[in-house]
Amino acid sequence: MTAVAERTSAEAGPARVTRPEPPTPPLVNYLGLVVVAVAAFAFFWWTRDDTSVLYLPLGVTTLWAPQWPLIGFLVMLAVLALCWFTRTGVMAAFGALTVVIFSYWAGSNIHFIDRIVEVPGRLTAGNTREQLIGYFNPDWSYLLFSNVAGTSRPIWGEWLITLCMAVVATIIGCFIGLLLAMLASPVSSFSKTSSQTVKAINSVVRSIPDVGWALLFAAFIGGTAYGLGALAAVLALMMFNIGIVAKLLGESIDAVDPGPLEAADAAGANLLQRDRVAVLPAVMPSFVSYSLYVFELNIRASAALGVVGVAGIGGELSRQIRRMSQGYENVGAILWALVIVVLLVDLLSMWVRRKLL
């Protein structure tokens, strides 16, 4: 018995207190939700494209039903029953039902369950098995002592290039992001129009993924892994960083305490002075924090960008993957090293963040 319970029972004695009951949601609304579930079941049955059925001999009759839609329907009913017995509000129950319906709809369209049951079989046989063995027996001597195929550049030098790409992209991208965030927030921007315009530009920049930018820049300026490849990667990462920093920092600026801004206004400061003396100090910790986060993202993203033929360790990774049945130990070594490097950068940025804030 807890101390609180002991205390109250000692004071209140045997007298029972009536406690309020949780309100019961109206039954008719829950019946409406059952109708929704039935409609979803009917739709899934109608649009099913597999032939697997559940065959249930019940003695007097045999029952058969399309397997997956029926299971989905039972899950929906179970969720509704659980919500009913826990007296969940109707809107929350509707939300839970919607999650079930959408996951069934989305999963069935890509045959998610059908494919995922095949995975264990693949893991233990054939090429997949060899790959896994290769990944778990990384060839460290390749990583430390070999050169990039056909050149005299060591593999570890590619790591340095990756790091340098990430540093350059982070520094340039975050500063441009800071400027765009200032222009995008109605708090610090010149006018409503300029804020809306810059926000629209930011959305466009953000809507193109980092690999998309890399493909674009590789096509513009030449995407060989030697020479110009690093530039394409840096530009791609830069756009990626601008999008992130402008978005996150713009929201930080929106939420800045309006008091000091008013004080700067009342002192006769112009807009630039106000942004510098009142807005910037308030969002500086967020800016540093986002920049470090973006640096981590850049290390990770540069591995993915290798697929489109840019420089750095990502390029080497995609070359080794393309060698198919020969490079698994090498791919494994790169992947493990990537995990270690990302962890190290993570720890470093955490340490810096703690020191700064």
Partner 1 sequence: MITFENVDVIYPNGFKGLDDVNVEIARGEFVAIIGLSGAGKSTLIRAVNGLVPYTGGTLTVGETVVDPKNKSKLRRLRSKVGMIFQQFNNVGRISVLNNVLIGRSAVTPTWRSLIGWYGAEDKEVAFQSLERVGIVDKAYNRASALSGGQQQRVAIARVLAQDPEVILADEPVASLDPPTARKVLGDLRRIQQDLGITCIVNMHHLDLARDYADRIIGMRAGRVVFDGPTEEATDTVIEDVYQRSLTAEDIATADFPVSLEDLPAEAVAGVVAGEPDRKP
Q: Where are the alpha helices (DSSP H) in 18-66?
A: 27-47
- Contact residues for 177 (Cβ-Cβ < 8 A; gap 6+): 241, 242, 243, 244, 245, 246, 249
Closer Cβ to partner 1, 211 or 277, answer by number:
277
State how far the Cα of 357 lies from the Cα of 345, in Å rounded to an integer: 18
CA distances (Å), 79 to each of 31, 73, 75, 166, 270, in order? 13, 10, 6, 47, 58
Closer Cβ to partner 1, 77 or 277, answer by number:
277
- Collapse the DSSP code of 150 into the 3-class scheme (helix H, G, I; strand E, B; otherwise coil) and give the result: coil
Minimum distance of partner 1 from residue 187's CB (angstroms): 14
Closer Cβ to partner 1, 21 or 49, answer by number:
21
Closer Cβ to partner 1, 279 or 297, answer by number:
279
Token digits of residue 6: 């002991």
Token digits of residue 34: 């059952």
Closer Cβ to partner 1, 1 or 15, answer by number:
15
Token digits of residue 238: 């830069």
State how far the Cα of 67 lies from the Cα of 81, in Å rounded to an integer: 21
Minimum distance of partner 1 from residue 252's CB (angstroms): 13
Closer Cβ to partner 1, 71 or 271, answer by number:
271
State how far the Cα of 264 lies from the Cα of 325, in Å rounded to an integer: 66
Q: How many CB atoms lie within 10 A of CB 209?
A: 15
φ, ψ of residue 154 to 5 degrees: the values are -70, 155
Minimum distance of partner 1 from residue 93's CB (angstroms): 25
Residues forming contacts to partner 1 in the complex (CB under 8 A) are 259-260, 262-270, 272-274, 276-278, 281-282, 284-285
Minimum distance of partner 1 from residue 279's CB (angstroms): 9
Closer Cβ to partner 1, 190 or 226, answer by number:
190
Closer Cβ to partner 1, 185 or 320, answer by number:
185
Minimum distance of partner 1 from residue 306's CB (angstroms): 40
End-to-end Cα distance, the chain: 43
Expressed in percent and rounded to 5, the helix, strand and coil fractions of the chain are 75, 5, 20
Closer Cβ to partner 1, 43 or 175, answer by number:
175
Place of tokens 């003396």: 277
b/e per residue, 5-24, with b = 16+ CB within 10 A? eeeeeeeeeeeeeeeeeeee
Minimum distance of partner 1 from residue 17's CB (angstroms): 14
Closer Cβ to partner 1, 182 or 232, answer by number:
182
Residues in the chain: 357
Minimum distance of partner 1 from residue 266's CB (angstroms): 4
Minimum distance of partner 1 from residue 259's CB (angstroms): 4
DSSP state of 63: E
b/e per residue, 70-99, with b = 16+ CB within 10 A? bebbebbbebbeebbeeebeeeebbebbee
